[in-house]
Amino acid sequence: MENGVFGMVLKQLDTTAEIIGLDENMHRMLRQPERELTVSVPIQMDDGRIEVFTGHRVQYNSARGPCKGGIRYHPDVSLDEVKALAAWMTWKCAVVNIPYGGAKGGVQCDPLTMSKSEIMRMTRRYTFGILPIIGPRHDIPAPDVNTSSETMGWIMDTVSMLEAATTLDIVTGKSIELGGSLGRREATGRGVMITTMELLRRLGKNPEDVTVAVQGFGNVGSVAADLIRKEGCRIVAASDASGGYFKGDGLDIDGMIQYTETSKNHLLAGYEGDGVEVISNEELLTLDVDLLVPAALENQINEKNGDNIRAKMIVEGANGPTTPEADNILHDKGVIVAPDILANSGGVVVSYFEWVQGIQSFFWDLDEINQNLKNIMVSAFDTVWELSTKEKVDMRTAAMMIAIKKVAVAMEQRGIFP
Q: Point out which residues pair with 140 in neighbouring strands.
A: 68
Instruction: With cut-offs at 50, 70 and 90, classify the pLDDT of residue 390.
Output: very high
- Helix axes of 4-20 and 79-95: crossing angle, nearest 10 degrees: 30
Q: Which CATH number fits domain 33-167: 2.70.210.12, 3.40.50.300, 3.40.50.10860, 1.20.1640.10?
A: 3.40.50.10860
- The pLDDT of residue 170: 93
- The pLDDT of residue 299: 81
- The pLDDT of residue 297: 81
> Per residue in 311-360, pLDDT tens?
999 999 998 899 989 999 999 999 999 999 999 999 999 999 999 998 88
HSE-CB for 331 with a 13 A CA cutoff: 15
Where in the chain is CATH 3.40.50.10860? Answer: 33-167
**C-beta atoms surrounding 213 within 10 Å:** 28
Instruction: With cut-offs at 50, 70 and 90, classify the pLDDT of residue 145.
Output: confident
- The pLDDT of residue 273: 86
Where in the chain is CATH 3.40.50.720? Answer: 187-343
Kindly tell me if the per-residue pLDDT of 77 is higher than 60: yes
pTM: 0.92
Percentage above 90 pLDDT, the chain: 90
> Per residue in 267-294, pLDDT tens?
898 898 889 999 998 899 999 999 999 9
- For CA atoms 142, 148, 154, 160, give the dihedral sign: positive
> Per residue in 31-53, pLDDT tens?
999 999 999 999 999 999 999 99
Mean pLDDT of all residues in 213-223: 94
Kindly tell me if the per-residue pLDDT of 67 is higher than 60: yes
Kindly tell me if the per-residue pLDDT of 375 is higher than 90: yes
Which alpha helices (H) appear in 273-345, and where do they start and end?
A: 281-285, 324-333, 340-343
The whole-chain average pLDDT of the chain stands at 95
Q: Which tops the pLDDT comparison, 1 or 352?
A: 352
> Per residue in 19-34, pLDDT tens?
999 999 999 999 999 9
What DSSP assignment string belongs to 99-168?
S-EEEEEEEES-GGGS-HHHHHHHHHHHHHHHGGG-BTTTEEEEE-TT--HHHHHHHHHHHHHHHTS--G
* CATH homologous superfamily, domain 187-343: NAD(P)-binding Rossmann-like Domain (3.40.50.720)
**C-beta atoms surrounding 160 within 10 Å:** 14
Catalytic residue among 104, 174, 374, 406: 104
> Per residue in 167-207, pLDDT tens?
888 999 999 999 999 999 899 999 999 999 999 999 999 99
Active-site residue, 374 included: no
Instruction: With cut-offs at 50, 70 and 90, classify the pLDDT of residue 2.
Output: low
